[in-house]
Amino acid sequence: MRKIIHCGTLFSGAGTVAEASQSAVIEHGHFTYVGPRENAPVAGPGDIQYDYTDHFVMPGLSDLHVHLSYGNALGQEDIDLYASMEYRALRALAAAQRMLQSGYTALADPASAGGISAAVRDAQFVGMFPGPRITASGPAITSRLGLYDFYPSPIGVPAQSSGTLVKSLPEAIEEIRKQTKDGVDIIKIAMDGIYGNREQGLFAAFDQAETTAMVREAKRIGRKVAVHARGREGALYAARAGVDIIFHASRIDDEGIRAAKDNGCHICPSLMLLVNNIEFSQPDDPSASWWPDIQRQEFAAARRNLRRAYEAGVPLLVGSETGFAVSPYGEWAAKELQIMTEYLGIGTGEVLRMATCANRAMLRDGSQYDTIAPGKRADFIVVKGNPLQNIGVLQDRRNIVQVWMDGAQVQMPDLPAEIPRHQRELAQGMWSRLYTREAVAGLKLQSLTQYDGPSFSIDDQFPEASL
Ligand SMILES: [Zn+2]
């Protein structure tokens, strides 16, 4: 039995243009014919035909920067501390399915708490649950000066953080071997420090020799290496060491760009989080007084430097940094494509090629499903509207008419946009200001006795007990 797909417009992902009046034939989950409709095999008895002649057919979208274990976090503590690993794993499955419903048939999770993204990957791989193809990392490797070591030193990096602290190069090498044994596809290194000075910006979390040694070991045992590096120094060390992906690279300079080009590094800008942090900021956000301006500065630098890197021939990839409260699963990922066309000046067809074919070269078994072509696995989406004319159509889930994976239509109940939070996730600060006598003088005091809230069961006394 063959499935014959008739497409109004077909974008294969191999180039930057689409063809009209194409058909594709699927057998045993793989394409066996892709080309003009008039040359397509004629449907025989038992074959099923699908009429997408009013639609745009393209490879499923892929996103290299989705943090499945973050749970649409409201802040760093929310990522690191409160939800149990078991609850996070189940939540990560729902997150992955939200991405699939939005047209993402493949994604990478760079920096996952414990083995969560690998576990969700494996459960989906053996067919327990529908979901996108996942390329997994473990916790990001960091130093005493790096991201994820946010807390006072006596506390350190919590065991359930999406980062893991190494205190020496031998510990870093040991961690790379352990993660590889535990089944990660990508080693993630937090190259940005959290300290710096005005002249140089952030100091890198690792020096050049450490970076080079970690990358060499990861590659020796067949892992890809991705780094988080917004700062100039971190991006430079990573580029010299020949990592596969530099996330952000907002302040990469000419030396870094040259090293990235010479050593075959890719840059994944991940600008959506920056843009949303600015555009969605509200006066009552705890970070409102300082965060948006820092993001504006970085966005200005990133536009300039990433455009230069692109012009110099450094290949770019597409990742949104989904998983925070400003970038919930399945809501804004495709906005990254629009940002890359609008603010980096990259052509729509080129961005679409990056978000499909180029991204997949970085993903686990990506060459099996990177384009729509004979021999490839049939992962594709059917879109209402033409993303080459208006890349914004991909952001509206209602335009993703059908998702196909392995030659089958994906069927899933519609998940809510909000992934439920557990009541015990008491992550955030309780108050937004200091209630001095002066501050309270202008407030209307609330009733001590009137009670309209939800009634807690005896098992849910934790909130009260904690005070
Ligand atoms: Zn990230």
Tokens representing residue 121 in the block? 């990957």
CB 138 within 8 A of CB 184: yes
Whole-prediction pTM: 0.92
Secondary-structure breakdown of the chain: helix, strand, coil percentages, each rounded to the nearest 5: 35, 20, 45
d(CA 273, ligand 1 centre) in Å: 9
d(CA 113, ligand 1 centre) in Å: 12
> What single-letter DSSP state applies at residue 146?
B
pLDDT at residue 55 is higher than 50: yes
Element (H, E) at 380: strand 380-383
Mean pLDDT of 62-89: 91
d(CA 73, ligand 1 centre) in Å: 12
Task: Please provide residue 203's backbone torsions phi and psi, each rounded to the nearest 5 degrees.
Answer: -75, 145
Give the CB-side neighbour count of residue 90, counting CA atoms within 13 A: 7
d(CA 188, ligand 1 centre) in Å: 10
* Residue 106 DSSP SS3: strand
d(CA 321, ligand 1 centre) in Å: 5
d(CA 320, ligand 1 centre) in Å: 9
CB 394 within 8 A of CB 341: no
Element (H, E) at 224: strand 224-229
d(CA 442, ligand 1 centre) in Å: 42
CB 144 within 8 A of CB 167: yes
d(CA 362, ligand 1 centre) in Å: 16
Residues of the chain with pLDDT > 90, as a percent, come to 79
d(CA 23, ligand 1 centre) in Å: 38
Tokens representing residue 170 in the block? 């031998």
Distances (CA, A) of 267 to 14, 187, 242, 260: 20, 16, 12, 8
Tokens representing residue 395 in the block? 């952001």
d(CA 142, ligand 1 centre) in Å: 13
pLDDT at site 364: 96
d(CA 104, CA 334): 9
Amino acid at 116: I
Question: What are the pLDDT digits (tens) for 383-432?
Answer: 999 999 999 999 999 999 999 999 999 998 777 777 766 655 655 556 77
d(CA 422, ligand 1 centre) in Å: 23
Amino acid at 286: P
pLDDT at site 430: 67
* Residue 43 CB contacts under 8 Å (≥ 6 apart), including other chains: 2, 4, 49
Amino acid at 418: E
Mean pLDDT of 65-89: 90
- Angle, helices 291-311 vs 335-344, to 10°: value is 70
Q: How far is CA 199 from the centre of its chain?
A: 31
d(CA 351, CA 69): 27
d(CA 228, ligand 1 centre) in Å: 7
Question: What are the pLDDT digits (tens) for 186-224?
Answer: 999 999 988 887 777 789 999 999 999 999 999 999 999
Tokens representing residue 256 in the block? 């870094």
d(CA 322, CA 326): 8
d(CA 48, ligand 1 centre) in Å: 42
pLDDT at site 464: 47
User: Which residue, among 243, 234, 120, has the nearest Cα to 187 in the 3D structure?
Assistant: 243
* Residue 227 DSSP SS3: strand
Mean pLDDT of 325-329: 94
Residues of the chain with pLDDT > 70, as a percent, come to 94
**Alpha-carbon Rg of the chain, whole angstroms?**
23
* Residue 280 DSSP SS3: coil
d(CA 84, CA 113): 10
d(CA 246, ligand 1 centre) in Å: 11
Q: How confident is the model at residue 459 (pLDDT cuts 50, 70, 90)?
A: low
pLDDT at residue 116 is higher than 80: yes
Please provide the DSSP assignment of 29-97 as one string. Answer: TEEEEEEEGGGSPPP-TT-EEEEEEEEEEEEPEEES-B-TTS-SBSSHHHHHTSS-HHHHHHHHHHHHH
d(CA 68, ligand 1 centre) in Å: 10
pLDDT at residue 451 is higher than 80: no
Q: Which CATH number fits domain 61-361: 3.40.50.300, 3.30.1490.20, 3.40.120.10, 3.20.20.140?
A: 3.20.20.140
pLDDT at site 461: 46
Question: What are the pLDDT digits (tens) for 134-163?
Answer: 999 999 999 998 999 989 999 999 999 999
d(CA 267, ligand 1 centre) in Å: 13
Domains in the chain: boundaries: 61-361
- Exposed / middle / buried, residue 30 (Cβ in 10 Å: 0-12, 13-18, 19+): middle
d(CA 264, ligand 1 centre) in Å: 21
Residue with tokens 């000075």: 197
d(CA 88, CA 74): 15
d(CA 365, ligand 1 centre) in Å: 22
Give the CB-side neighbour count of residue 341, counting CA atoms within 13 A: 19
d(CA 270, ligand 1 centre) in Å: 8
Selected residue with higher pLDDT from 74 and 382: 382
d(CA 140, ligand 1 centre) in Å: 10
Q: How confident is the model at residue 174 (pLDDT cuts 50, 70, 90)?
A: very high
d(CA 295, ligand 1 centre) in Å: 15
Question: What are the pLDDT digits (tens) for 248-288?
Answer: 999 999 999 999 999 999 999 999 999 999 999 988 888 88
d(CA 361, CA 263): 17
